[in-house]
Amino acid sequence: MALFTVRQVTCGDAFTAALTTTGKVYAFGDNTYGQLGDSTQFQRTQPVKAGSQNMDQDTIAVIASGSRHTLAAGNFGAVYAWGDSKFLFRLLTKYRYIWSNR
């Protein structure tokens, strides 16, 4: 397992997401709703890289997690989201919606 220097940590109901100093997001824990952002629904005990190809081309500045979802804001103003979209829809219709796992 690779080691990362972590700048920020957020937690949902049963998962954790971490933002590295290089602007990448990793997550582990429950993934029932795709809240880890790895395009699966497998529970992970080791951190996996979150996001899409669009997110790979951006440097993430800040992350936040809800019960079953995660948001990430890039340095260029893009907002990325993954996980349970039931609670995200109203928020993301006000902002630039890039990608969701569901």
pLDDT tens-digit map of 38-61: 989 999 999 999 987 778 889 999
**Secondary structure letter of residue 61 according to DSSP:** E
Q: Is residue 101 part of a domain?
A: no
pLDDT digits (tens, 9 = 90+) for 13-33: 999 999 999 999 999 999 999
Structural domain that includes position 56: 6-92
And the tokens for 29? 């824990």
Q: What is the mean pLDDT of the chain?
A: 84
What pTM, to 2 d.p., does this model score?
Answer: 0.81
Query: How many CB atoms are located within 10 Å of the residue 43 CB?
Result: 13
Answer for the pair 58, 51: CB distance below 8 angstroms, yes or no: no
Number of domains in the chain: 1
What band does 98 get if pLDDT is binned at 50, 70 and 90?
very low
Q: Is residue 102 part of a domain?
A: no
Q: Is residue 97 part of a domain?
A: no
